[in-house]
Amino acid sequence: MTTTTAAPIRVKEAGYVSPRRQRVMGIVFLALATMIWAFFSRTTTGQMVTTFVMSPGGAVATPDLVFKTLPFLNVLATISAVIGAYQLVRGFHGRTNTMLGILAGFFVIAFLAWGAADKSLNLAGLLKVAVVRAVPLTLGALSGILCERSGIINIGIEGMLLAAAFTSTVAASLSNLWVGLIVAILTGALFGWVLAVFSIRYKVNQIISGTVINIFATGMTSFLSAKFLQKYQNLNSPGQFPTWEIPGLSKIPFFGPILFSHNLFVYGVFILLIVLTIALFHTKWGLRLRSAGEHPKAADTLGINVNRTRYMATILGGMIAGFGGAYFTLGSVGRFDEVMTAGRGFIGLAAMIFGNWMPTGALGAGLLFGLADSLAGKLTILRIPIPPKFLEMAPYIVTMIVLAGVVGHTSPPAAEGTPYEKE
C-alpha cells in the first residue's frame, strides 16, 4: 500500500514581499542614497550653511533651523544606504512602502538643504503654500473616488470644477459668499447628475461622457465670461472667504500656522477626508456603495439597487467637485478667469490613482503635487540651476512609477466603467 503525502500548502502571510520585489526595492533604495551623494553632497563644500525659516510670515515665533549642509547631506546619504542594504539582504517586508516613503522624504529634504546652501528657505511658508495648493487636487481626487468606488468613471471633474467656479462667482457677486458656495455645490451636483444619466440610463461610454462635460464647461464658461463678466465687472467681484485661525491650534509652533490658519476650503478638505473615510469603510452605506463598484451582480442579489447607488454616488461626487470649483474664485483669487482650473481636475484624477482610490492616499498625493507646485516657484528665488518645469513634471513621473507597480499593485474597482443591466 502506497502512502502519498500531500505537499504542504504555503500561505502568504500578511505583508509578504516576493524575493524579486525585495531585491528591486533594495536597488531603488540604494539608488536614492547614491543620488543624494552624487547630486548634492559632491557639489557642496564643507563651509556651506543652510537656514530653514520655521515661521511662515512670522505668525508664530519659532527659531530658525541652521546647520552645516555637507555633514547633513552625508548623514542622509549614509542612512539611506544602510536602509537600502538591509532591504537588499533581509527586507522590511510589510514596511517596504513605508521605508520607500521615508527615503523619498530624505531625498526631498536633501534637495531643499542643497538648494538653500548659503541661503535661507522659508520651509514653513513652503509647506503652508503646499497645503493650500493641494486643496483643489485633493477635492478632485475625493470626487473621483466617490464616483469610481460605485463604478462610474468621472473624467469630467475638470469641467465640474470650472463650471462651479463660474457660477459661484456670478452668484456671490450678485448676493454673498455663502450663496455663491451653495450655487457652486449645486452646479457640481447638476453635472454629476448629467454624467450619471449619460452613463447609467443611456449607457454612453463613460470616458466620452466625461469628455463632453469638460468640453461643454470650457466652451460655455469662456463664452459667458467674454460676453458678460469682462463687460460687467460687478458680476466678477465675488470677494473671498477670510482666513480663520483655530484658537489654540493655530498657535502651535511650526505646525499651527501651516495647518490651522486657513480659510473654509482647507478645513473642508480635512472634514471631507474624515467623513468619507468613515462612511466608505466603516458603515453599511459605504459597503453597499463599494459593492456596486466591485460586484454589482452580487450586490443586486442582496437587494441593493445598483443603479440608484451609482446615481447617488455620482451626484455626491459632483457636489464635492463643485465645492472644489468654488475654491478657485471664493477661496483663492476672488474673480473668475477663463480656463482658470488649468488642468487641476486631471491632476486630481492622477492623485486618485496615486492614492489607490483611498481618501487618505488622495490627500497624500495631493500634498505631494502641491509641494512640487509650491517648490517650483521657489527655484527662481533660490537660483537653483534646474528649470521649474522639470520639477512640475515630478508628480507625474511618480504617478507613472506607481502605475508601473514599483510601490505595489494599484487596482481600480473591478466593475468601474461597466454599465449594469438588471437581469
Q: What average pLDDT is seen over the chain?
A: 89
Q: What percent of the chain has pLDDT over 70?
A: 91
pLDDT grade, residue 404 (50/70/90)?
low
* pLDDT score of 395 more than 70: no
* pLDDT score of 59 more than 80: no
- Distance, in Å, from the CA atom of 53 to the CA atom of 123, rounded to the nearest integer, reads 6
- Distance, in Å, from the CA atom of 145 to the CA atom of 361, rounded to the nearest integer, reads 11
* pLDDT score of 5 more than 60: no
* pLDDT score of 3 more than 70: no
* pLDDT score of 151 more than 80: yes
Residues 322-335 have a mean pLDDT of 96
For residue 1, the model assigns a pLDDT of 43
Written as nine digits, the cell of 340 is 482658470
Compare 2 and 295 and report the one with higher pLDDT.
295
Specify the pTM.
0.89
pLDDT grade, residue 152 (50/70/90)?
very high
Q: Tell me how far CA of residue 343 lies from CA of 95, 189, 249, in angstroms.
A: 34, 20, 33
Domains of the chain: 19-118 (no CATH), 126-403 (1.10.3470.10)
* pLDDT score of 253 more than 90: no
pLDDT tens per residue, range 304-317: 999 999 999 999 99
- Distance, in Å, from the CA atom of 103 to the CA atom of 33, rounded to the nearest integer, reads 8
For residue 7, the model assigns a pLDDT of 41
pLDDT tens per residue, range 94-112: 788 788 888 988 998 999 9
Query: Torsions phi, psi of 385, nearest 5?
Result: -75, 50
For residues 330 and 172, the answer to whether their CB atoms sit within 8 Å is yes
- Distance, in Å, from the CA atom of 80 to the CA atom of 82, rounded to the nearest integer, reads 5
Q: What percent of the chain has pLDDT over 90?
A: 68
Q: Is 338 exposed, middle or buried (0-12, 13-18, 19+ CB in 10 A)?
A: middle
Q: Tell me how far CA of residue 408 lies from CA of 144, 270, 355, in angstroms.
A: 21, 26, 12
- Distance, in Å, from the CA atom of 397 to the CA atom of 108, rounded to the nearest integer, reads 15
Compare 204 and 376 and report the one with higher pLDDT.
204
Using the 8-state DSSP alphabet, how is residue 117 labeled? B
Written as nine digits, the cell of 218 is 470650457
- Distance, in Å, from the CA atom of 126 to the CA atom of 104, rounded to the nearest integer, reads 18
pLDDT tens per residue, range 12-48: 444 556 788 888 889 999 999 999 999 999 999 989 9
Cell numbers 452605506 label which residue? 285
Give residues with Cβ within 8 angstroms of 90, minimum separation 6: none
- List the Cα angle 66/67/71 in 5-degree steps: 170
Give residues with Cβ within 8 angstroms of 3, minimum separation 6: none
Short-list 367, 368, 372, CA closest to 386: 372
pLDDT tens per residue, range 198-247: 999 999 999 999 999 999 999 999 999 999 998 999 999 999 999 999 99
Backbone Cα Rg of the chain: 24
Report the largest interatomic distance among the alpha carbons of the chain, rounded to a whole angstrom.
98
- Distance, in Å, from the CA atom of 30 to the CA atom of 408, rounded to the nearest integer, reads 18
Written as nine digits, the cell of 92 is 522590511
